[in-house]
Amino acid sequence: MDAHDWDERYRSRERLFSGNPNGVLVAEVADLPPGRALDLGCGEGADAIWLARRGWRVTGIDLSAVALERAAAAGADLADRLTWTRGDLAATAPEQGAFDLVSAQYLPLPKAPGDAALRGLLGAVAPGGTLLFAGHALNGLGHLRGEGVDPTAFYQPAEIARALDRDWFVEVDETRLRSAPAPAGTHHTHDTVLRARRLD
């Protein structure tokens, strides 16, 4: 899906997602001290807003201008801690070495030879910072094949874990039951989760 497709998907509903922060983010980040965070594929902004309420300064990046408008409206009371940026993470790397937390929740990042885009996302984590990457387990994505989409064409957290070098310490690399119901119209039951720390 390109930016136009995502905009259309967001426009198809008054609100596409629940407005609640993702369960994986809440479970994995609640104990981290606030700093600078980057939300990759931030959508309508619920995760970034939750982080900002906890004292983080957050940059949210997304392809969809429609989603970002909604995010900015929802987080208007925290505008001094939130920055919303339209960008294509498959094409342009975010600021490097700058973020204490880089979170990607269900970001469909297409695999590419050389992993340049993935390396750009990993490079955004500051030394000592945390990478949190969550996806839908492949067993809940079978319906995509019927829509002509190959779910294995996108990076899974476990594949990212295997791509990390000795500059990283993997803290969590697992598949777990979702803690909240799946978004309407989907069949997701399990999350795949990678949490890794970039060594100082």
* Binding stretches for ligand SAM (CB under 6 A): 6, 17, 22, 41-43, 61-64, 67, 88-90, 105-108
DSSP β-ladder status, 99-105 and 36-40: parallel
Judged by CB, which is closer to ligand SAM: 125, or 132? Answer: 132
Residue 103 token pair: 């979170």
Closest contact distance (angstroms) between CB of 62 and ligand SAM is 5
C-alpha–C-alpha distance, residues 138 and 189, integer Å: 10
Judged by CB, which is closer to ligand SAM: 3, or 169? Answer: 3
Closest contact distance (angstroms) between CB of 162 and ligand SAM is 22
| CB neighbourhood size of 178 (10 A) | 17
Helix crossing, 3-11 with 65-74: angle to 10°? 50
Judged by CB, which is closer to ligand SAM: 124, or 199? Answer: 124
Judged by CB, which is closer to ligand SAM: 43, or 157? Answer: 43
C-alpha–C-alpha distance, residues 55 and 72, integer Å: 17
Judged by CB, which is closer to ligand SAM: 107, or 196? Answer: 107
Q: How far is CA 118 from CA 23, 28, 92, 133, 135, in A?
A: 23, 21, 10, 11, 15
Judged by CB, which is closer to ligand SAM: 108, or 129? Answer: 108
Closest contact distance (angstroms) between CB of 91 and ligand SAM is 7
Closest contact distance (angstroms) between CB of 3 and ligand SAM is 7
Of the chain, the end-to-end C-alpha distance in Å amounts to 36
Closest contact distance (angstroms) between CB of 80 and ligand SAM is 22
Closest contact distance (angstroms) between CB of 92 and ligand SAM is 9
Q: How far is CA 155 from CA 59, 90, 106, 119, 180, in A?
A: 22, 12, 10, 12, 23
